């Protein structure tokens, strides 16, 4: 039986490892971090991501996780509501915030029930192992045959899957190229105590005022608000030396401004998230495959990263499982995986860029904001319709993805 090494035990790596080992394929899953309590992990599962987990048979696990569904999306410009859209729109499930650490722990625990599964945590991959192989008329070439760890251990594999995120070591060591795309934003990410209104009615609120943009919502963790402050991509600020309570309050409706002032001492210092957006022209080489952010890092707009990665996993499993079970060569199916997934990735990145550009246009154009403020009764229905129309593909996915193995 062919053996797989999966590098990175985030949602991409953990779900792929589980699907493979449940189908009798030996898997070693490697995670460099000693635990899953990373400073920042995205929580937003769109209907497409929830559907992917359901197809994997993971709905019972998901139901036991700390989570909070969103009730709607609200947009406030210069202290005036432009429009609000209720969840779940046209979907059967609303966008849901799910705490990643307990989810990842549960996925690994489920995989550990299976034979031929090994989980290595707290030990990083140092390099990929390369061997010379002979390929017919092409002649001798190199293929990836496993990984070496920083503790000196070497693990051979028929396939190495790089699921190790946007700064993927596997990608770098395998010589796969990432083509970065221009992006418009970076983000400062804050946490603070929840306002009762968000506890009762967890809407995702985007506020644009005086050229500043931020979004606020209740995360999966009980009693905690998340606030994403949008920076221009060339803004070097780390946000450490500002009175953020006063900044937020000056830009917010009265009920929220009061909460910021009352919670001033409990607003956690921000984490700067440097956005990296791009795609690898090739997600694979002989013996190695990239999935998720390792192959196509996404912008944070509408939480596409985790949802698209889960759909990557389903497509990868569909192609890999029959070949791995039969002990066949894998190189041809690696091409098929990328070909099937790439159109959706390209479209999602385009839609994310459209959303970011609209935000930048409003942020930088006081005249346009003034027009919206004065003519909001006329503009509101058009703006609402346009926004909803743009969301469908980012929520539901662009292509049909079905687990068939």
Closest CA to 7 of 163, 174, 169, 166: 163
For each successive 10 residues of the chain (405 residues), what is the average pLDDT? 93 98 98 83 91 97 93 93 92 93 96 97 97 61 94 97 97 97 85 94 93 93 93 80 94 96 96 92 97 96 93 98 92 96 96 85 84 86 90 93 98
Concatenate the DSSP letters of all residues of 154-188 into one string: EEE-SEEEE-S-TT-HHHHHHTPPPEE---SEEEE
pLDDT for 210 equals 86
195 is written with which tokens? Answer: 């306002």
User: What angle, 0 to 180 degrees and rounded to 10, lies between the N-to-C axes of helices 100-111 and 11-22?
Assistant: 20
Torsion sign across C-alpha atoms 103, 349, 31, 16: positive
List pLDDT tens digits, range 202-225. Answer: 999 999 998 899 999 999 989 999
List pLDDT tens digits, range 312-347. Answer: 999 999 999 999 999 888 989 999 999 999 999 999
Separation between Cα atoms, residue 98 and residue 96, nearest integer Å: 6
Q: Where are the beta strands (DSSP E) in 32-173?
A: 44-45, 67-69, 72-77, 80-86, 96-98, 117-121, 125-134, 140-149, 154-156, 159-162
Separation between Cα atoms, residue 202 and residue 225, nearest integer Å: 10
**DSSP category for residue 269:** P
Separation between Cα atoms, residue 94 and residue 72, nearest integer Å: 9
Separation between Cα atoms, residue 71 and residue 89, nearest integer Å: 10
47, 395 contact by CB (below 8 A): yes
Cis peptide before 88 (omega within 30 of 0): yes
pLDDT for 182 equals 83
All domains of the chain, ordered by start, with CATH? 4-38+100-181+277-354 (3.50.50.60)
Separation between Cα atoms, residue 48 and residue 36, nearest integer Å: 24
Separation between Cα atoms, residue 295 and residue 280, nearest integer Å: 5
């Amino acid at each position: 039986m062919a053996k797989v090494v999966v590098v990175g035990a985030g949602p991409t790596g953990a779900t792929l490892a589980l699907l493979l080992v449940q189908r009798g394929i030996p898997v070693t899953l490697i995670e460099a971090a000693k635990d899953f309590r990373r400073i920042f992990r995205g929580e937003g599962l769109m209907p497409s991501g929830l559907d992917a987990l359901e197809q994997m048979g993971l709905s019972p696990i998901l139901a036991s996780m700390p989570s909070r569904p969103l009730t709607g999306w609200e947009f406030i410009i210069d202290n005036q509501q432009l429009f609000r859209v209720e969840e779940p729109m046209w979907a059967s499930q609303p966008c849901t915030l799910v705490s990643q650490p307990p989810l990842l722990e549960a996925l690994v625990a489920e995989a550990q029930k299976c034979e031929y599964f090994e989980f290595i945590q707290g030990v990083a991959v140092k390099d990929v192992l390369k061997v010379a192989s002979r390929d017919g008329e092409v002649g001798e070439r190199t293929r990836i045959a496993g990984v070496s760890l920083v503790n000196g251990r070497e693990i051979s594999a028929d396939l190495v899957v790089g699921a190790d995120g946007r700064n993927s070591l596997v990608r770098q060591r395998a010589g796969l190229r990432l083509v970065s795309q221009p992006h418009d934003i970076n983000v400062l990410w804050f946490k603070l105590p929840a306002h009762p209104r968000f506890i009762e009615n967890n809407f995702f609120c985007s506020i644009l005022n005086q050229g500043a943009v931020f979004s606020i919502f209740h995360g999966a963790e009980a009693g905690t608000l998340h606030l994403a402050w949008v920076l221009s991509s060339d803004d070097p600020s780390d946000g450490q030396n500002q009175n953020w309570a006063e900044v937020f309050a000056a830009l917010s409706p009265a009920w929220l401004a009061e909460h910021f002032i009352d919670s001033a001492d409990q607003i956690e210092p921000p984490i700067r998230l440097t956005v990296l957006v791009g795609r690898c022209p090739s997600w694979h080489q002989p013996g190695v495959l990239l999935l998720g952010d390792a192959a196509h890092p996404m912008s944070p707009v509408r939480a596409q990263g985790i949802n698209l990665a889960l759909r990557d996993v389903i497509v990868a499993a569909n192609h890999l499982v029959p070949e791995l079970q039969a002990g066949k060569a894998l190189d041809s199916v690696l091409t098929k995986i990328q070909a099937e997934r790439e159109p959706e990735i390209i479209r999602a990145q385009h839609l994310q860029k459209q959303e970011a550009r609209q935000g930048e246009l409003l942020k930088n154009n006081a005249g346009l904001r003034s027009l919206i403020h004065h003519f909001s009764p006329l503009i509101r229905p058009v703006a609402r319709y346009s926004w909803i129309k743009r969301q469908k593909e980012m929520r539901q996915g662009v292509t049909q993805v079905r687990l068939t193995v």
